[in-house]
Amino acid sequence: MNATLEAWYPVRPYPAAEAQAVVVLGGAVYAHTPSQPEDLPGIGTLLRTSYAGWLYTHWRPLPILVSGGPLDALHVSVSGVMARVLEERGIPPSMIWRENSSRSTYENAVYSAALLRARGIRTVALVTEARHMLRAEACFRRQGLDVVPAPCCYRALPYRFRWTDLLPKARAMTENEDALHEWIGLLWYFAARRI
């Protein structure tokens, strides 16, 4: 099911066109606990942020806008955790911009676009997981930005059939649930005129 979302975006190491900045969307973060002394990125957030850092080092040293607000009552800043990951990978703090208010893909686009327009930026390389890119790209375009997709974390492409694929797996259920979430999100955003 992920292939229905990811097939729109060919697998490539670099974005297909020039951009003025990179925008990377946050996801899950694990808040600190007594046994875990720091806030940690969830796997999706880590992979997205790492790819944005890789682009900085291997493609273009562009400013990176990390987008993600606080997690409900935990008061954990998703963008703060992402900024820390980038700094740990050697990205200069002056090249990391933060959008600290968003709680959804739509809000990522609204608040990020406002910050970018204030800096004179109209074209961005957008980093998120490949299955999330259709909805994210549409949201950012709706805000008037020119988007160069920079998807990462492909789940279905390239696909090679193996006989063990016929056996039930918990991972397959999770992957299908996530893809279904994206399709429902696309329909909801379209109906709500967010894309």
Report the distance separating Cα 26 and Cα 78, nearest Å: 6
CATH number, domain containing residue 10: 3.40.50.620
pTM, full prediction: 0.88
pLDDT value at residue 179: 76
Structural domain containing residue 96: 3-191
| 71 or 13, higher pLDDT | 13
pLDDT at residue 112 tops 80: yes
pLDDT value at residue 113: 98
pLDDT tens sequence across 127-176: 999 999 999 999 999 999 999 999 998 887 665 666 666 666 666 667 76
Percent of the chain whose predicted confidence (pLDDT) is above 70: 88
Stretch among 9-13, 77-81, 149-153 having the lowest mean pLDDT: 9-13
Taking residues 44-57, what's their average pLDDT?
97
Report the distance separating Cα 88 and Cα 83, nearest Å: 9
Beta bridge partners of 148: 125
Q: Count up the domains in the chain and report the number.
A: 1
